[in-house]
Amino acid sequence: AQSVTQLDSQVPVFEEAPVELRCNYSSSVSVYLFWYVQYPNQGLQLLLKYLSGSTLVESINGFEAEFNKSQTSFHLRKPSVHISDTAEYFCAVTRNSGGSNYKLTFGKGTLLTVNP
């Protein structure tokens, strides 16, 4: 079975500061990794994903995440945050075990609060 640990439940930062949201996973097989964002009272939206290839993946709004197999991590970073980045962020993993069953396991989420 796989599992995901998001090490910080809340991360408060000031506007224009850099931020890192940490995510570690455990799995006995290779994995696919995702970051989702949830704004208040809404569903989740995909932010970025790692399936294969380059270990550094980027989103269109300035976030990036790096897959580190040796440290089993997939931390999310942004060099300069905006007020509008305030949301809850979820890391998710699914096993690369073939077939068509790609159930996601989610972390408990990190609430990013950007203050002026």
Partner 1 sequence: DGGITQSPKYLFRKEGQNVTLSCEQNLNHDAMYWYRQDPGQGLRLIYYSQIVNDFQKGDIAEGYSVSREKKESFPLTVTSAQKNPTAFYLCASSPGGVPSPLHFGNGTRLTVT
Q: Where are the beta strands (DSSP E) in the chain?
A: 3-6, 10-14, 19-21, 23-26, 31-38, 44-50, 56-58, 64-68, 73-78, 87-95, 105-106, 110-115
Residues 56-95 that bind partner 1 (CB under 8 A): 90, 94
Work out which of 32, 64, 66, 72 binds partner 1, going by CB under 8 A: 32
**Cβ 18 to partner 1 shortest distance, Å:** 25
Rg of the chain taking only CA atoms, in angstroms: 14
Query: What is the phi/psi pair of residue 105, to 5°?
Result: -110, 125
CB under 8 A: which stretch of 18-26, 40-48, 53-61, 69-77 binds partner 1? 40-48
Binding-site ranges for partner 1 (CB under 8 A):
6, 9, 32, 34, 36, 41-46, 49, 51, 90, 94, 96, 100-104, 106-109
